[in-house]
Structure 1
Amino acid sequence: MTDPELTELRELAAQGDRDAVDQLVELAGERGDFDELRSLAAAGSSDAVDVLVELAGERGDVAELRRLADAGNQDAAELLAELTDED
């Protein structure tokens, strides 16, 4: 995807286009782009939160899982508990 296409997708997502949001979540997940996923999550995308939890769990990113758990995400809290129990 080119930069102009990505910019257009972001503009569409900002205007409430669910398909654009879904596509951005998918692309950000593939790239492991935590910043983009956080931005999408902050804008209300539960799918972005789910991908953040998944990626953070795969990477063993305790800080990200803690941030998500502190924000009330139960999946992140469970993964965090699993990771910290192993230490």
Structure 2
Amino acid sequence: MSELDDLRERAAAGDRDAVDELIELAGERGDLDELRRLADGGSNDAADQLIETATELGALDELRRLAGQGNRTAAEQLAELTEE
């Protein structure tokens, strides 16, 4: 089992430290899929990191998806990116 698999398993079991580590690693890797999975699982920290990473990568579709779900921060970031 890889370190990531172990972290995912621990996170699924409710280990907040594992969730935090997954968020940090996913942010460093620019892994929108991992961040989306964690955010969809209810992690506000993952949602914040997802918005930050999507903004850095210029992932407008991801920001649109989040904004469409009512995320104000994503909507604001999208507005800023599309103004430029």
Structure number with greater Rg is 1
Instruction: Return structure 1 stretches of 4+ with deviation > 2 angstroms.
Output: none
Q: Work out which of the residue numbers 33, 38, 42 in structure 2 matches 1:44.
A: 42
Q: Distance in 2 between matches of 1:68 and 1:60?
A: 14
Q: Post-superposition shift, 1:58?
A: 1.3
| 1:71 corresponds to | 69
Distance 1:33 1:60 in 2: 13
The answer for unaligned runs of 5 or more in structure 1 is none
Backbone CA RMSD of aligned residues = 1.1
Q: In percent, how many aligned pairs have the same letter?
A: 67
Query: Which one is further off, 4-13 or 20-29?
Result: 4-13
Normalising by structure 2, report the TM-score.
Answer: 0.92
- For residues 8-67 of structure 1, give each alpha carbon's deviation from its aligned partner in whole angstroms, at most 9, with x where no partner exists: 111010011111100000011111111111111111111111111111111222111111
The counterpart of 2:12, out of the listed 11, 14, 39, is 14
TM-score, normalising length from structure 1?
0.89
Read off the aligned partner of 1:77 and give its amino acid letter. A
Q: What letter matches 1:13 in structure 2?
A: A
Residues 1:4 and 2:7 are matched in the alignment: no
Which residue in the other structure is 1:84 paired with? 82
Q: Distance in 2 between matches of 1:36 and 1:25?
A: 8
Report what 1:59 is aligned to: 57
